[in-house]
Copies of this chain bind each other. A is one copy, B any other.
């Protein structure tokens, strides 16, 4: 008998005899109960229907695929106890904009394939609000659900094909998404999430069968959906906290995930406080006219020589520039500010910007790339409107950090470690983010970028039978700080709407 910490356990049973004539399914489940230290294991009709023949064929040895959701253990599948039966799992980060998927071997923990694709619901609306309004009828809700399920199934097929395995070998699927996306996935109407008092249908979706959701995998596979704390604090964030590990730390640390929302969690092994706010629109693509997601030709780094005003930049794959991504934008604004071309109120200074500044429809635009240099043949500009939007976003971000730290009598500068999650977060230059007052003025080594941590958490779930306990610990220990009705937050937000901040003492490293 091997007692791995994975969901796969191989057992060897005593064969039955006249003196030991317990039934086949109880023979197996009693053995598993001992291994798993539980007093109940659910066995489905599908397994019952093959257990007697299979156990005899395999001489009463079997590889078991198990699953635990809250209090109940389930036996999902029985397989021959040899190398011929491979078991795989798929972790999914179900984002509003992007969906990312990772295929792993459940026994070895090896990652086999990963890829991301656009959320197919984008064609209905770019944000969840539009989609919720669209889903006013059962039919339209089902349409949104079907879009999602079909695309997930195609992507599961694609990832299996890429790794040379069959979808029938997928036995576990773990999915982390925000509360609204989770509702769409389950075909639950999310309309009450956006109506006061903002009530989801479920906080703990938990376990489902493939047939419950229509997900393509082995017919006996289990699907786990991460819990949420509320309408604005989703399973993606729980998965992110899991991946960051802050819930296990002795010291107080902070985890931030910047996407459409800025999601911030502060805490240690004893307590966690989290909040989420709409801080992100200007930071991801879409807020600036030239903004776009990272890809070939996209400007990801910008430097401006404060003496000469000369602009240096790099693009992804060093292609001709076609746009700018969030991290490039933060670089740009930081250097515009440090070169004194933007003032502390976030307005372009005409005499410093010189010929870079033009007016289009009476709105100042800063020319980053002239038409002659650009891949599109058109100049790439940053408008005053775009800049205002970015500053509101960074102000929201910092105000959130200030508000949440203040609840435990600290300030953002007291935090030792900042885990920065999200694809966007991975590319942020902390120095630039500090320069515009988006992140606190900490030593650069305090910032640890951890990538798509929602996917990371979902993937962790596949690889250990005890991670569910960590998820439940996180879920149970977190306090949600409501920002919408928080006066502190509004005050902090006002102070943060300047570059870097009205209180310059908070940013000693930024040269004025």
Instruction: Decide if A204 is an interface residue (CB 8 Å cutoff).
Output: yes
Which residues in B have their C-beta under 8 angstroms from that of A187?
49
Instruction: Decide if A197 is an interface residue (CB 8 Å cutoff).
Output: yes
Residue in B21, B24, B42, B212 whose beta carbon sits within 8 Å of that of A201 in the complex: B24
Which residues in B have their C-beta under 8 angstroms from that of A85?
none
Instruction: Decide if A296 is an interface residue (CB 8 Å cutoff).
Output: no
- Bound-state CA distance A199–B18 (Å) is 9
Residue in B24, B196, B228, B482 whose beta carbon sits within 8 Å of that of A200 in the complex: B24
Instruction: Decide if A415 is an interface residue (CB 8 Å cutoff).
Output: no
Residues 196-247 of A at the B interface (beta carbon under 8 Å): 196-205, 208, 212-213, 228, 230-231
Q: Smallest Cβ distance from A264 to chain B, in angstroms?
A: 19
Query: Is the Cβ of B39 less than 8 Å from the Cβ of A71?
Result: yes
Instruction: Decide if A17 is an interface residue (CB 8 Å cutoff).
Output: yes
Query: Is the Cβ of A188 less than 8 Å from the Cβ of B70?
Result: no
Q: Smallest Cβ distance from A230 to chain B, in angstroms?
A: 6
Instruction: Decide if A72 is an interface residue (CB 8 Å cutoff).
Output: yes
Which residues in B have their C-beta under 8 angstroms from that of A192?
24, 52, 56
Q: Smallest Cβ distance from A197 to chain B, in angstroms?
A: 5
- Bound-state CA distance A16–B188 (Å) is 18
Query: Is the Cβ of A21 less than 8 Å from the Cβ of B230?
Result: yes
Which residues in B have their C-beta under 8 angstroms from that of A117?
none
Number of interface residues of A (CB under 8 A): 48
Best-surrounded residue of A23, A56, A189, A230 (most CB of chain B within 10 A): A23
Interface string of A16-33 (1 = CB under 8 A from B): 111011111110000000
Instruction: Decide if A45 is an interface residue (CB 8 Å cutoff).
Output: yes
Query: Is the Cβ of B48 less than 8 Å from the Cβ of A16?
Result: no
Query: Is the Cβ of A52 less than 8 Å from the Cβ of B188?
Result: yes
Question: Are A202 and B72 CB-contacts (below 8 A) given A192-B52, A212-B45?
Answer: no
Query: Is the Cβ of B70 less than 8 Å from the Cβ of A26?
Result: no
Question: Are A197 and B52 CB-contacts (below 8 A) given A22-B203, A203-B23?
Answer: no
Best-surrounded residue of A43, A45, A53 (most CB of chain B within 10 A): A45
Query: Is the Cβ of A51 less than 8 Å from the Cβ of B199?
Result: no
- Bound-state CA distance A189–B56 (Å) is 13
Q: Smallest Cβ distance from A4 to chain B, in angstroms?
A: 25
Q: Smallest Cβ distance from A15 to chain B, in angstroms?
A: 9
- Bound-state CA distance A443–B198 (Å) is 72
Instruction: Decide if A40 is an interface residue (CB 8 Å cutoff).
Output: yes
Q: Smallest Cβ distance from A478 to chain B, in angstroms?
A: 14
Residues 474-490 of A at the B interface (beta carbon under 8 Å): 482, 485
Instruction: Decide if A290 is an interface residue (CB 8 Å cutoff).
Output: no
Question: Are A16 and B202 CB-contacts (below 8 A) given A40-B72, A45-B186, A72-B42?
Answer: no
Q: List the 7 closest A-B pairs by CB distance, nearest first.
A: A40-B71, A23-B203, A23-B200, A45-B212, A25-B202, A52-B201, A18-B197
User: Which residues does A use to contact B, with CB under 8 Å?
Assistant: 16-18, 20-26, 39-40, 42-45, 48-49, 51-53, 56, 70-72, 186-189, 192, 196-205, 208, 212-213, 228, 230-231, 482, 485
Please name 6 pairs of A and B residues whose Cβ atoms are closer than 8 Å in the assembled complex, sorted by A: A17-B197, A18-B196, A20-B197, A23-B200, A23-B204, A40-B72
